[in-house]
Structure 1
Amino acid sequence: MRDFVVRVVEKLHVDEGRDRVSVVQYSREPEANFYLNTYATKDEVLENVRGLRHKGGRPLNTGAALQYVKDRVLTESSGSRRLEGVPQILVLLSGGRSYDSVDAPASALRELGVKIYTIGTRYSDSRELQRISDEPSNALTVSDFSELPSVQEKLVDSVDSVVVRVTPTTPTVIGMCTSV
C-alpha cells in the first residue's frame, strides 16, 4: 500500500499552489498521518509516505474514516481548497468489509463534490466500494494489495481527466490506507 501511495504521489505536481496530499490510516479509529497543509513539496510528502508504518488492527470502521476525512481533513484549516473550487479527490484503499455504515458519510462527501475512488481486495465488499465511490466505475478490486500497480495507471488517468474537465487548478488528493 505504501509503495502504491508513493507511485501515485510521484505522478502528482505537489507544491502549495498545486496538488496537496494527506494520508489517513484507519482500522477501529482513523488517524491522520499528515494533513493537506503539513508538507509543501513532493519530496517532503514522499519522505513521509516512505516512513509510514502500517496501522493494522480490526475492526475496519470505514464509515468513521470517511466521516473523519470530511470533518478533519477536507477543511480549510487542514489545507483544503474546496471553497476555492479546487477539486477534492479521495482514494480509499480497503482490505475488508466495513463494520460500520459507510452510506451517510460517503453521501456527505459526494454532496461536497468529492470525487471518490475505492480500491479493495478480494476481502472487500465490492457493492460497498461502489456505494462509497461517486461512480460504480471508480470502484476497483485487486486480489491483494500486491496487485495495486495494475490499477495505478487507470487511477492516475482518471484523476487527470477529472482535473482537466473540472478546472485548470490541480486537485487535492487524499490517500487513505487501511489494514489487510
Structure 2
Amino acid sequence: MRGHQVVPLCVLLGVLFGGLLPNLEAQEAQESADLILLIDGSENVGAANFPYVRDLALRIIERLDVGRDTIRVALVLYSVDPDIKFYLNSYDSKSSVVEAVKGLAYSGGDESNLGAALEEVAESLLSQSAGGRADESVPQMLIVISAGPSTDDTGAGDRALKRAGVITFGASVGDAASADLETVATDKTFVLSAPDFRAVASMGDQLLPYVNGVVQRTIIVQNEFTEGM
C-alpha cells in the first residue's frame, strides 16, 4: 500500500552562516506566529514539581510579544488524555494569557500519552476556527515540555504536525523524555534538556532565540512528500 512520507527540511540560516543562531534581538521582528505549548501533566512531573514546569511556560510567554495580531498562544496539558486549557483565540492580551498560565493546576495521571496529545493539537488547535493562521502564512510552532517517555505511540500525531508544517521544539526534564522528543521535534537540535526540575526555568532563555527565529523567519521548515510503500 502506497502512502506519503513527510520529510522535514529545516533551513536554519544562523546555523548555515556561522554555526550559531543570529543575534535575534538586533533584528526587526516580522509580524506574527502561532505558539502552542504542550505540557506533561502526568506523574512524570508530579504535584511538587509542576510549579517549575508552569514557571517555564511563564518565562517563555513573558518575554514574547503576545497579542491577537502578533504571537498567539495556546496551551494543552496531557497525561492520560489531552486537556486543552486555552486556544490561540481564547485571549486577546498578553496579561490574560499570563494569568491563565498562572492559574494552571497539576492534573496528574499515571500515563503520559504524548501521541494522543499531538493528535489533539493537529486536529483541534491549528485551524482557523481555533485561532490558527496558517492560511495567512503565519508560522505555527509547538513546544513540548516533557519529563518522561510517552506511554503511547507518537507516530500519527507526529506525521500530522510535520505534514502541516508545524515547527516542533522539545524541552526535556532529565534524560527519559529525550528520545521521544527527538523523534517528534522538527530537528534533533531543537530539543533542549535540563538535568532536574530546579534547572527547568533556564530552558526558557535557551528556547527564546528559537521561538524568535520562527517569528522573524530566520528559522523556517519545508516539507517534502515522497511516495513510499
State the match for 1:37 in structure 2: 89
Q: How many positions carry a matched residue from both structures?
A: 167
Deviation at 1:125, TM superposition (A): 3.5
Q: Is the 8 A contact 1:16 1:40 kept in 2?
A: yes
Q: Is the 8 A contact 1:16 1:41 kept in 2?
A: yes
Runs ≥4 residues deviating over 6 A: none
CA–CA distance in 2 between the matches of 1:166 and 1:82?
Answer: 17
State the match for 1:175 in structure 2: none
Query: Identity across aligned pairs (percent)?
Result: 36
Deviation at 1:150, TM superposition (A): 2.0
2:106 to 30, 39, 54: 54
State the match for 1:90 in structure 2: 142
Provide the secondary structure at the position in 1 that maps to 2:157.
helix
Deviation at 1:68, TM superposition (A): 0.3
Q: TM-score, normalised by structure 2?
A: 0.70
CA–CA distance in 2 between the matches of 1:83 and 1:147?
Answer: 38
1:67 paired with 2:116, answer: no
CA–CA distance in 2 between the matches of 1:64 and 1:50?
Answer: 25
RMSD: 1.4
Unaligned ranges ≥5, structure 1: 168-180
State the match for 1:118 in structure 2: 170
Deviation at 1:164, TM superposition (A): 1.6
CA–CA distance in 1 between the matches of 2:167 and 2:198?
Answer: 24
Provide the secondary structure at the position in 1 that maps to 2:217.
helix
Provide the secondary structure at the position in 1 that maps to 2:145.
strand
Q: Is the 8 A contact 1:37 1:78 kept in 2?
A: yes
State the match for 1:78 in structure 2: 130
1:160 to 207, 212, 215: 212
Higher alpha-carbon deviation: 147-156 or 90-99: 147-156
Unaligned ranges ≥5, structure 2: 1-52, 220-229
Match for 1:92: what amino acid?
V
The structure where helix makes up a greater share of residues is 1
State the match for 2:186 in structure 1: 134
1:107 to 159, 176, 194: 159
CA–CA distance in 2 between the matches of 1:50 and 1:162?
Answer: 25
Q: Is the 8 A contact 1:118 1:139 kept in 2?
A: yes
1:88-116 deviations in Å (ceiling 9; x for gaps): 11010111110111122112101211110
Provide the secondary structure at the position in 1 that maps to 2:84.
strand
State the match for 2:203 in structure 1: 151
1:23 paired with 2:75, answer: yes
1:13 paired with 2:84, answer: no
Q: Is the 8 A contact 1:97 1:123 kept in 2?
A: no
Deviation at 1:149, TM superposition (A): 2.1
CA–CA distance in 1 between the matches of 2:115 and 2:201?
Answer: 26
1:7-57 deviations in Å (ceiling 9; x for gaps): 111111111111111110010000111111000000000111101101221
Q: Is the 8 A contact 2:57 2:101 kept in 1?
A: yes
Q: Is the 8 A contact 1:21 1:35 kept in 2?
A: yes
Q: TM-score, normalised by structure 1?
A: 0.88
CA–CA distance in 2 between the matches of 1:47 and 1:164?
Answer: 26
CA–CA distance in 2 between the matches of 1:113 and 1:144?
Answer: 31
Provide the secondary structure at the position in 2 that maps to 1:119.
strand
Match for 1:136: what amino acid?
K
